Amino acid sequence: MSGAPHLLVVCGPTATGKTPLAVAVAERLGAVELVNADSRQVIRGLVVGTCAPTAAELRGVPCHLLAVRDPGEPFTVAAWLRLARPAVEDIDRRGALPLVVGGTGFYIGALVDGLDLAGVEPDPVTREWRFALAERPEGLSELAAELSRRDPAGAAGVDRRNPRRVVRALEILDAHGTLAARGRSGGLPATLLALDAPAELHRRLVEERSRRLLGDGALLAEVEAALARGVGRSALDAAGIGYREALAVLDGVADVDGAVDLLVRRTLRYAKAQRTWFRRDRRIRWLERDARPVDRLAGEVIDVLHQDARTGERLPGGRRP
């Protein structure tokens, strides 16, 4: 799309180090601002369990679209796009490079491919029926099976244990026939990279993060504080993997070790779904990290950006890296 902002995208499975890599790239290049594409990190007031980057971790690099909605507040892909598109346009207008970072493939695909989701209005009767069905475990399983049957590839990027996301995905399917539609309107040129790790290393990274979240009490304290200020248990459960496990520990129905084991298993399942989503996009170039600090890969990311610049892609402010 002529004149559109050029994006650099760093995506991939959870717990691989995407944000530290993005920060390192921003520090090396200068004039780079991050745009969060993680559906959990948009939640206001929940930082520990969502693994949202802290000010210290960002090291002065601006990051947009963190903490933009309250726990439990409905927030669709279309809502994210309404914030993301102006953000990247403003970053580009100021002569900086928008670096979109996160693991929510539906967000990234919708932005890069220009999906028009804002016009997908739910039918009130159908929505009410689906939500009523989703309140029962067997009903949610039925809706998730319908989603997988109608769009197997697209369903891989949807948390099928989350009733709200399953229902919304079905609404989009009703309107467009696919969750992975391409080439609608307003797409953006992008350099797309994904970060991953070998299976054994990734499991260790997930285990270390899970132990850190629950073992040192930080996530438990965050959940207790959220409950005290009136955040509902269902809103916490829907905030992503980790909050259900923390609630179980606080309720005394699970010990920390058992909760950590469950958190690891759920995280690895989610990472597998993320890989499935991203692997189907052949435009994405993959980087594999090792046990060393992930910021050592910043040079490889910049090299790929150079390659795109040499093929004539427009970069922010008319400059080339």
Q: Which residue, among 34, 9, 68, has the nearest Cα to 188 in the 3D structure?
A: 9
The answer to whether the beta carbons of residues 195 and 294 sit under 8 Å apart is: yes
The per-type count for the chain, helices as H runs and strands as E runs, is 14, 6
- Residue found under tokens 């690895």: 268
Nearest-5° Cα angle at 89, 79 to 278: 60
- Residue found under tokens 């890989």: 275
The list of the chain residues with pLDDT below 50 reads 1-2, 118, 182-184, 313-321
For residue 132, the model assigns a pLDDT of: 79
DSSP code at position 69: B
For residue 3, the model assigns a pLDDT of: 67
pTM for this entry: 0.80
Give the containing element (helix H, strand E) for 36: strand 32-36
Tokens of 242: 């980790």
303: CB partners within 8 A, 6+ apart: none
Total count of residues recorded for the chain: 321
Distance of CA 91 to the CA centre of its chain: 20
Instruction: Delineate the domains of the chain, giving CATH numbers in brackets.
Output: 119-180 (1.10.20), 201-269 (1.10.287)
For residue 289, the model assigns a pLDDT of: 97
DSSP code at position 242: T
Nearest-5° Cα angle at 120, 115 to 123: 160
User: Three-class SS of residue 38?
Assistant: coil
Q: What is the pLDDT of residues 246-276, one digit of tens each?
A: 999 999 999 999 999 999 999 999 999 899 8
As a whole number of angstroms, the distance between CA 197 and CA 13 comes to 9
For residue 317, the model assigns a pLDDT of: 36
For residue 296, the model assigns a pLDDT of: 95
Q: What is the pLDDT of residues 122-156, one digit of tens each?
A: 666 677 678 878 888 888 999 999 999 988 888 87
As a whole number of angstroms, the distance between CA 102 and CA 98 comes to 13
